[in-house]
Structure 1
Amino acid sequence: MHFAVPDGAEVPRPGDVVHVGVTYGAPHHLVADSGLAGGTYAVRRTRAGDAWAARQAAPAAPAGVGLGIPRVGAPAPVAAPACR
């Protein structure tokens, strides 16, 4: 679905649901420009959109991958549990 956001209207986030009027149907997509002419255009916020916004506002995680490289040398001794 390709749709136009009217001037001054709420811009949807990834994950939000948008109700629009379809103005043109092609074989592999739909076009909904009715909001530009005063037609249907309504945004419904969802939990998915809230999660996307929270992730965008969070600080970036450090780049890289922890490989779990072992230490050099003999492993540290482990205390065996006492028998009763």
Structure 2
Amino acid sequence: MKQTQEIQMTYSGLLPQKDGKKIVRVVFERGKDFAEGIVPSGQIEKSSGFTPEELKQLSDYLIQNGDNILTKAKEVNPLRNWMRKK
């Protein structure tokens, strides 16, 4: 990956799916570049500006750190966070 710019990662709370399973949506940003992926599958759904090799590394990161991301996503409470901004 480009070493000159830092990559920021943000993630959603747990999101229910039609099959009853839960996922977390993750966004990686580096300047104008972005990649959107899903935990636990590690699938990158959308991207712009990242090379195929970088996308593979991001996907691997999601898979390897999926349990940790899922645990942290359980603590995300959108309503509480929205109320703090008011």
TM-score normalised by L of structure 2 = 0.26
Which is higher, the Rg of structure 1 or of structure 2? Answer: 1
The structure with more strand, counted as a fraction of residues: 2
The structure with more helix, counted as a fraction of residues: 2
TM-score normalised by L of structure 1 = 0.26
